[in-house]
Structures are given as structure tokens and as C-alpha cells.
Amino acid sequence: MRTERNGLGGVFVVAEVRRSGIHSCTLELVSKARELADARGREVTAIVLRSPSEEPVEPLFRHGADRILLVEDERLGSLNAEVHSRIVAHLIGKGDAEIVLAPATTTGRTLLPAVAALIHTGLTADCTGLEIDAETGLLLQTRPAIGGNVIATIKTPDHLPQMATVRPKTFPVAPPQDRLGRVERPLLDESLFCTSVVCLGEESVEGEEVDIQGLDVIVSGGKGLKRPEGFRLLQELADLLEGAVGASRPTVEAKWISYPHQVGLSGKVVAPRIYLAAGISGAVQHLAGMQTAETIIAVNKDPEAPLFRVADVALCGDLYEILPRLIDAIRREKEERHD
Ligand SMILES: Cc1cc2nc3c(=O)[nH]c(=O)nc-3n(C[C@H](O)[C@H](O)[C@H](O)COP(=O)(O)OP(=O)(O)OC[C@H]3O[C@@H](n4cnc5c(N)ncnc54)[C@H](O)[C@@H]3O)c2cc1C
């Protein structure tokens, strides 16, 4: 309860650690946490749980953290929700956090509800915006609700810490600053590691490695492709532009392409430099995942398609006529540059 905790420990970010190191979505959250903490004159603490590693943690300082709580243990190599949530709950409880943030990735979505339950506070999942009332410290947590048709602002007035998971790419990574902080290695009681869960091994699901969020160009397809083979055409275009292929939900549901490609409310939020949408109508749930792209190019045969309303470039016509011409033109342009 607010009355029992004072939240003077500031803003905590639970870092997402992957095999490749600290994930960029953590830097996005540390950047935002800095802004929130500055408004309250408080600190930003990043919690990093991982197996022993040489991977540097200093980027967290450069993007906004004042302090890193680093716990390294062989047993933290793969996510064990029971152990990880217990340790995070212990660290934020001891640190008297006012706000706790984590990426709304599979890991964050698994971990944070368990942490919230352990420390008896609320959690707003999948936020697409965060602001703070500097005076009261109330976190204004924005997220789509009722199937994406309304945007709700949620407050947690009676409990501390205020906890939220935030969709990757919601906030930009702040430019790196020349700043350092302190790394603390808390000693943890062995009982925190007790678990009945045994990890027998890890296997990747087909397509799981696809990371469409990190690329500058995304070429997405929708039901207007009419058939799964349509994605080959999109892949050809994406390859030429060194981009990735995205998809609308119905194409994923139809198994034309795997889920990691899905853009939108129940898929990924992307913010590429160029987002080309072919045969996608532009439902609000799709827009929720791509409308912050720098340049939106829409290809649709219906001049009334809602996506045209947010597009910077509207190509009205049959995608099977337009895309091959676009591919030819880009290929010719590339060849000429090489000559
Ligand atoms: C809770 C909830 C969550 C959702 N989450 C998502 C989400 O994450 N992502 C998502 O995408 N959707 C999501 N949806 C579904 C969403 O409401 C729409 O149904 C979906 O986005 C429509 O997909 P689409 O544009 O591919 O298909 P359609 O709406 O069927 O549009 C197909 C478009 O293709 C055009 N077209 C047809 N043939 C051609 C052609 N030859 N050339 C050019 N254009 C052509 C048509 O004019 C049409 O505009 C969600 C819905 C709900 C209720």
C-alpha cells in the first residue's frame, strides 16, 4: 500500500536478457525511466538477472540508469518464472520502488504478473504510453482497451510500486550520454532459488528468431494477397530493400505466415523508416502496430481503404501488378548504381 511504502527508490526497469545480450527494448525503457525519474527527482535502477557473462552492462548507464542490480548465477540462464519473479520481487521490495517497468515481450509478460502477485500490487500490461504526474507520482499508463477501439489511461492510486509492461518500440532509445553509475551485486538468500521447475532444454519455435522490430524497412501483406504464395513476392521486395516481411492477423490465422511476423495490437509494434502495406485494409488493430513508422506506403485496390488515410504514399491498384513493377524498378536502379 502507498501508506506502507514511500517509493523513494524511484523507477526500476527489469532488463530483458537474451542469448545475444541485453535486448534493445530494455534501452527503450531505461530511456523512458530516466524521464519519469527526473520528473520526481529519483533514481533509475536496472535489474539484470543472467548467467555469468562478459557482456557489458554499461550501455544501461549511458541511456539513463543510475544503478544496476546485477545478479549472475548459472541457474538464471533460462527463464524460470518461479525463481526470476521471486528474485525481482525481493529486489524491488528492498529497493522501495515507486515504478517498475518491463518490456511487454514473452519474458516480461510471463514475469511481471507473478511479481505483481508476490508483492500485492497491480499491473498494467502492454502499455503504449506512459506519463507521470510529477507532484503525486501517479503513473498515467496508456493502453488500448476493448479490442483496440478505445485508448484507456490507467492509474494505480492505492498501491506501490506502480507496475507496467510496455510494448517494444513504444519509446525511442535516448541518445547515449557520457555517464556512469554503480553496479551492485546483491547477495541473495539460497531460498530464493528453490524451485520445483526443471528446465530439460530449450528449443526454438519455427520462425521465433524473426525479429521484424529491429529493421528499417518492413513489407507487410494482408488478406488482399489472396494466397500464401503472395508472401514470396513480399519476401523478394523485402530482400531487395534489406528489410523484413510483416503480416496482418488474418494471414497469420490462415497459416500463410508465422506469428512472429504479425504486426498490430495482438502482434508486434514496429516503427521502421519505411512500412509498405500491400493488401491490408487498415483496421485500427493493425494501425496500432505500425502508425509510428516514418513513411507509410499503402498498396490497395480499394480507394476507400482506411490505410490510405494514414499513408504518405498511396498506390491504388492491384498489388500483383504494382509490386512486380516496383521490384523491377528497384532492381534496375540498384544495377545502374553498380555499373
Ligand atoms: C482484439 C483484436 C486484435 C486484433 N489484432 C490484430 C493485429 O495484431 N493485427 C492485425 O493486422 N489485425 C488484428 N486484428 C484484426 C483486424 O481487426 C482486421 O480484421 C485485420 O487487420 C484485417 O486484415 P487485412 O487488412 O489483411 O484483411 P482485410 O480487412 O480483409 O483487407 C484486405 C484488403 O486487401 C485489399 N485487396 C484485396 N485484393 C487486393 C489486390 N489484389 N490488390 C491490392 N489490394 C487488395 C482489399 O481492398 C482490402 O482493403 C485484431 C482484431 C481484434 C478484434
CATH number for the domain including 321? 3.40.50.1220
Range of the domain at 83: 11-193
pLDDT of residue 89: 97
Residue 62 has pLDDT above 90, yes or no: yes
Which run of H or of E encompasses 152? strand 150-154
Structural contact between residues 196 and 82, judged by C-beta atoms closer than 8 angstroms: yes
What pLDDT was estimated at residue 85? 97
Predicted confidence (pLDDT) at residue 218 exceeds the cutoff of 90: yes
pLDDT at 1: 46
Q: Are residues 156 and 259 in the same domain?
A: no
Share of the chain above pLDDT 70, in %: 96
Structure confidence at residue 207 (pLDDT) = 54
Q: Judge whether 206 and 143 are in contact, CB under 8 Å.
A: no
Strand partners of residue 101? 13, 164
- pLDDT over 90 at 40, yes or no: yes
Is the CB of residue 147 below 6 angstroms from any atom belonging to ligand 1?
A: yes
Q: What is the pLDDT of residue 208?
A: 53
* Per-residue pLDDT at 4: 63
Q: How many structural domains does the chain have?
A: 2
pLDDT score of 52? 93
Share of the chain above pLDDT 90, in %: 74
| Per-residue pLDDT tens over the stretch 282-309 | 999 999 889 889 999 999 999 999 999 9
240, burial (CB in 10 Å: exposed 0-12, middle 13-18, buried 19+): middle
Indicate the average pLDDT of the chain.
92
Cell matching residue 318: 492491384
Same domain, 184 and 246: no
- Probe target for ligand 1 pocket from 252, 256, 266, with the most ligand atoms within 8 Å of CB: 266
Same-domain status, 125 and 269: no
Give pLDDT tens digits for 151-174.
899 999 999 999 999 988 889 999
The last residue of one of the domains, among 193, 224, 249, is: 193
Question: Does residue 43 register a pLDDT over 90?
Answer: yes
Q: Is residue 16 over pLDDT 60? A: yes
Q: What is the pTM of this model?
A: 0.71
Decide if 201 is inside a domain.
no
DSSP 104-124: SSHHHHHHHHHHHHHTT--EE
Neighbours of 155 (CB within 10 A): 14
If asked whether residues 149 and 15 sit together in one domain, one would say yes
14 CB near ligand 1 (under 6 Å): no
Residues 6+ positions from 150 with CB-CB distance below 8 Å: 144
Q: What is the mean pLDDT of residues 180-201?
A: 92
CB of residue 280 inside a 6 A radius of ligand 1: yes
Backbone dihedral angles phi then psi of residue 78, each to the nearest 5 degrees: -120, 155
Sign (positive or negative) of CA dihedral 223, 226, 228, 233: negative
Same domain? 180 vs 242: no
Cα angle: 166, vertex 172, 176; to 5 degrees: 120
Q: What is the mean pLDDT of residues 146-154?
A: 78
The CB of 224 under 6 Å from ligand 1? The reply is: yes
Residue 329 predicted with pLDDT over 90:
yes
Please say if the pLDDT value at position 148 is more than 70.
no
Residue 113 CA to residue 164 CA, distance in Å, equals 9
Identify the pLDDT of residue 139.
Answer: 97
Tell me, yes or no, whether 38 and 184 share the same domain: yes
Per-residue exposure over 5-21, b if at least 16 CB sit within 10 Å of its own CB, e if not: bebebbbbbbbbbeeee
CATH number for 105: 3.40.50.620
Q: Are residues 249 and 141 in the same domain?
A: no
Do residue 108 and residue 165 come from a single domain?
A: yes
207 domain residue, yes or no: no
Q: Residue 107 Cα, ligand 1 centroid: separation in angstroms?
A: 28
> Which cell numbers hold the place of 2?
502507498
Out of 42-51, 139-148, 172-181, 266-275, least confident range: 139-148
Boundary (domain end) residue, out of 193, 228, 258:
193
**Where does the pLDDT of residue 3 fall: very low under 50, low under 70, confident under 90, or very high at 90 and above?**
very low
Confidence of residue 187 (pLDDT cuts 50, 70, 90): very high
26 lines ligand 1 (CB under 6 A): no
